[in-house]
Copies of this chain bind each other. A is one copy, B any other.
Amino acid sequence: MAATALPTLKPQDFASDQEVRWCPGCGDYSILAQMKKALSTLNVPREKMVFVSGIGCSSRFPYYMNTYGFHTIHGRAPTFATGLRMARPDLQVWVVTGDGDGLSIGGNHLIHALRRNVDIKVLLFNNEIYGLTKGQYSPTSRLGTKSKSSPQGSIDSPVRPLSVALAAEATFVARTVDVDPNHLTATLQRAAAHKGSAFIEIYQNCKIFNDGVFDYVTDKSSKADNSLYLEHGKPMIFGKDRNKGIRLNGLTPETVVVGKDCGLDDVVVHDEKAENATMAYLLSRMMVPQFPEVFGVLRQVSHPTYEELQQRQIDEVTAKKGKGDLDKLFRNDDLWVVE
């Protein structure tokens, strides 16, 4: 299978012949656009890319990509992706899921795929709602969310996708947002470059059933003060005037004004490579209004992938026992001959 000539790939080459069927104004459109842009920069032949998804508005994603794609069943995408990678470590496998698909019905598979460090890139479109089923609250909906299924407001306290990913020992954990094209593209590229499970939470606006939940980090007015863009090796500075920072008081983070409350070197410097994920965990807990919410790569460490370890064992066993021989296998027990 000769690869298609690479240099020719443009973002539009990744558009399939299917018409896109999201609601006008849905945040998914922007993610789709940035994905095409990101992929066109990877030098990976298009036929080597596979998009695997569950069920949900977000999970329609594969139909719109002119790569291989598998729209599976609700919540189980990581399992299909795991099997696919086991069979075909030569493929680049993307998993597209939603906050319901990935954290409600599918939470367990997500955790286990991450802990195994299977080389898949999981994109969780978090719109804090069930879109496709027309507006029920989700495991990420804030307490008190009024929805069709919670007319008096939701009473289940939400989970934080990034905390869960970290607890699942994920080796790449990041967050970005639909309406920040450059950051979104860059984050997708980072995920593509990572060897092992990559988990990206993408804040995504559901125009119809949850419009504006993320305005506080997307509106010009409040964006700067409510979002902290992480960069490896750089101090955690944010704010309209780039003068706010995060300082640690023991284990408790606090927002400080640099120059006023303290100097720049009191501000925490981001280290995405730290094996000890405590700071990443801490960042995953920061929420507006007490804190800015973080964007970028919280954690990126290198561990062997499940597929690598599996191949290593196969090689070892084959080296020891020799390549499988059916006749030997059939005879690996007491035999007797009948004349």
CB–CB A317/B169 < 8 A: no
Say yes or no: A159-B167 contact (C-beta < 8 A), given A111-B107, A278-B278.
yes
A288 CB to nearest chain B CB (Å)? 16
Say yes or no: A111-B310 contact (C-beta < 8 A), given A152-B316, A276-B251.
no
B-contact bits for A230-251, CB 8 A (1 contact / 0 none) = 0000000000000000001011
Quick check: is A112 within 8 A (CB to CB) of the other chain? yes
Quick check: is A157 within 8 A (CB to CB) of the other chain? yes
B-contact bits for A295-339, CB 8 A (1 contact / 0 none) = 000000001001001100100110000000000000000000000
Residue of B nearest to A316 (CB): B152
What residues of chain B lie closer than 8 Å to A252, measured between beta carbons?
276, 278
CB–CB A310/B155 < 8 A: yes
A116 CB to nearest chain B CB (Å)? 5
Quick check: is A256 within 8 A (CB to CB) of the other chain? no
Say yes or no: A155-B278 contact (C-beta < 8 A), given A107-B111, A164-B167.
no
B-contact bits for A125-147, CB 8 A (1 contact / 0 none) = 00000000000000100000000
Quick check: is A156 within 8 A (CB to CB) of the other chain? yes
From B108, B111, B167, B317, give the contact of A166 (CB < 8 A): B167
What residues of chain B lie closer than 8 Å to A108, measured between beta carbons?
105-108, 111
From B164, B167, B251, give the contact of A248 (CB < 8 A): B251
From B139, B155, B278, give the contact of A251 (CB < 8 A): B278
Q: Which of A194-208 contact B (CB under 8 A)?
A: none
A79 CB to nearest chain B CB (Å)? 13
Quick check: is A279 within 8 A (CB to CB) of the other chain? yes
Q: Which of A90-134 contact B (CB under 8 A)?
A: 104-108, 111-112, 115-117
What residues of chain B lie closer than 8 Å to A104, measured between beta carbons?
112
What residues of chain B lie closer than 8 Å to A106, measured between beta carbons?
108
B-contact bits for A150-183, CB 8 A (1 contact / 0 none) = 0011011111100110111100000000000000
